[in-house]
Amino acid sequence: MHISNLGLIDSVVVKPPVHPTYDLKGVIQLALSEDAGDKGDVTCLATIPTEMEVKAYFLAKDDGIVAGIALAEMIFNEVDPTLKVEWFRKDGDNVVRGLKFGKVHGRAHSIVVAKRVVLNFMQRMSGIATLTKAMADTAHPACILKTRKTAPAFRLVDKWAVLIGGGQNHRMGLFDMVMIKYNHISIAGGVSNVNRYS
């Protein structure tokens, strides 16, 4: 995954972890397609003039750590590059319930199509970042490490949220670090046999 291919700018506070095959743009497109199908928002098409422009605000529904701002920008850009997004906070900042921490302006149809996908990612990432921050603060000076136990297809996004919350990533997958676990020992026939095959 190359950040430059995703439209990320150098000002991203916490860059996503590196993964050799993860296609973040593909995940964004899949999420948008899952929600809008091949028609877009049919209710919007039936009720709102196509060229109508609106302004929408991001409002914190609870106290916590905001995460997913950089990803939200990628999603808005994927839906409609003419949308103008402005943030009053950055990934990793504390937010309090009721705080307006960003806004988007542009075509109503585009904002509505992007909105739910943006909010779903941001809510998930903010929840992970908030819990990670609480655990990291409690565990200090020890480090909180994120394992591979993530929702399928969300690994990079989940691990990115951990970084934003102050944790660290252990390994991205089976490919980037040797880690002998009980299943390897059991299959090999015991600890003494594990070394025989390396």
> Active-site residues: which are they?
149
The label of the residue with tokens 């302004």 reads 55
Q: Give the strand pairing for 84-87 and 94-95.
A: unpaired
CA distance 61 to 117: 17
Residue type (1 letter), 106: G
Alpha helices by DSSP H, the chain: 24-36, 42-47, 69-79, 108-139, 155-164, 182-188, 191-194
